[in-house]
Amino acid sequence: MTTNTDPGLDRLDQREGLDRLDQRGGGRDDEGTRGAWLVVMKREIVVRALNKTFLVGLLVSVAIIAALAAFMAWQGSKTDSFTVAVPAGDAAATAAVESAAAIPEEQGGGAELTALEVPDDAAARAALADGDADGWLHPGAGGWVLTGQADPDSALTRLLTAGVAEQTLDANAEAAGTTTAELTAGGTLSTDRVDGDAVDPQTLFFASFALALLFFIGALGSGQMIAGSVVEEKQSRLVEIMATAVPLRHLLAGKILGSSVVALAQNVVFAAVGLAALSFTPTASILPSLSTSLVWFVLFFAVGFLGLAALYAVAGALASRTEDLQHTTTPMTMAIMGVYFLTFSASGTFETVLSYVPVANVVSMPVRVLSGDAAWWEPIVSLLILAAFAVVALLVSERAYRGALLQTGGRIGWRSALRTAG
């Protein structure tokens, strides 16, 4: 029998009972319960990792990422080829097709164009109808006409517009006794930037979309998991057995850490698969800057998810049965959906603001890092703000969780939960 001289129990009242019991146990009993959070954490991880639904979801997501990357690689590597019908003996038309074929890939060209000489209009139309030619380039009123069986291919139109312009410019220059090179000498504009490699807007949009999606899947999936696991224990009264064995904060800590590890591991897997797949695509040149951005994302996610997981645990404790979860987790779900939609569509000043607002900064700051828009200290300041949010969320949640977990009968409000915890 442990000797106990604490006189406090005589004055226990409803408000402070549990909390005091927790603390009373804390000092003397530390050795027995010190590792309890670790036992809880391990179970959370093992149960989740062996969950079929989770594993199938993970595999499907990995397959989708790999397939997307494969599609992009195929898109990037394939060469367009066109056959263009030209009137037989029309040197200007042939020259226009040749200069269209000569446009380098960097300027939107890189396609194979073949000129097919046709004796007359009827033969040209027949070639279009048979599919032997993709377009028919012929002189028209004051210029050129590109005829297709239906509307001509847009890429072909773009290429030939440039080809025809160049050929016409060459011809007119020659007639004026000069050359195109002389006429356009010194008239080019190219761009340059001091801070290194540029990431084009399309890639940036794709990256911010991917990060927002990673955040959405990770936060929502793992958040729901922790809420579900809390209410499962509450509904079955398992928590009453556990509450007598270990302080409730150990239970909470184990759950938060366990689900954070799973959520983080999932995101690391997705990011690694994505990066590996991207390295086979033409966008491989942005891999270094994308990797830096992803490291920030993982860091931000780890810190931000601690806070979110704590809030989700409270959402689980506020419910009395699984059916209540949808109601108690609504504010969290709305916030995460909001972050998802706002961050991948945000730009300019709005994006800069978001990159400092928890938890939107989990997505927005890494995107700004990727665009090269953020100064070196900006992600650090933003991360500190996020950490402050996580600490406040953890402290408030710890109290609300203790207050709500052992109350039964219907849904419990935040206020009642915080008051009961004393």
Contacts with another protein by CB under 8 A lie at: 1-4, 6, 9-10, 12-18, 21-22, 24-26, 28-29, 32-33, 36, 39-40, 43, 47, 232-233, 235-238, 240-247, 406
Contact 422, 16 (CB under 8 A): yes
List Cβ neighbours of 118 (8 Å cut-off, separation of 6 or more). 85, 86, 87, 88, 124, 127, 133, 136
Contact 116, 83 (CB under 8 A): yes
Burial of 153 (0-12, 13-18, 19+ CB in 10 A): middle
What does the DSSP 8-state code read for residue 51?
A: -
3 state DSSP class of 84: strand
Q: Which is nearer to another protein, 170 or 324 (CB)?
A: 324
State how far the Cα of 213 lies from the Cα of 340, in Å rounded to an integer. Answer: 7
Phi and psi (nearest 5°) for 116? -120, 110
State how far the Cα of 146 lies from the Cα of 37, in Å rounded to an integer. Answer: 73
User: Strands 135-140, 143-147: parallel, antiparallel or unpaired by DSSP?
Assistant: antiparallel
Q: Which is nearer to another protein, 103 or 400 (CB)?
A: 400
Q: How far is CA 153 from the centre of its chain?
A: 33
Q: Which is nearer to another protein, 180 or 235 (CB)?
A: 235
Q: What is the closest distance, in whole angstroms, from the C-beta atom of residue 39 to another protein in the complex?
A: 5
Residue 56, preceding peptide bond in cis (omega within 30° of 0): no
Contact 205, 357 (CB under 8 A): no
Nearest residue to 61 via CA among 212, 187, 218: 218
Q: Which is nearer to another protein, 51 or 161 (CB)?
A: 51
Q: Which is nearer to another protein, 32 or 288 (CB)?
A: 32
Q: What is the closest distance, in whole angstroms, from the C-beta atom of residue 106 to another protein in the complex?
A: 57
Q: What is the closest distance, in whole angstroms, from the C-beta atom of residue 26 to another protein in the complex?
A: 8
Handedness of CA 125, 126, 127, 128 (dihedral sign): positive
Q: What is the closest distance, in whole angstroms, from the C-beta atom of residue 406 to another protein in the complex?
A: 5
Q: Which is nearer to another protein, 221 or 379 (CB)?
A: 221
Q: What is the closest distance, in whole angstroms, from the C-beta atom of residue 334 to another protein in the complex?
A: 29
Q: What is the closest distance, in whole angstroms, from the C-beta atom of residue 13 to another protein in the complex?
A: 6
Tokens of 315: 């959402």
Q: What is the closest distance, in whole angstroms, from the C-beta atom of residue 6 to another protein in the complex?
A: 7
Q: What is the closest distance, in whole angstroms, from the C-beta atom of residue 35 to another protein in the complex?
A: 9
Tokens of 398: 């710890």
Contact 188, 142 (CB under 8 A): no
Q: Which is nearer to another protein, 25 or 372 (CB)?
A: 25
Q: Which is nearer to another protein, 242 or 299 (CB)?
A: 242
Q: Which is nearer to another protein, 8 or 338 (CB)?
A: 8
Q: What is the closest distance, in whole angstroms, from the C-beta atom of residue 315 to another protein in the complex?
A: 20
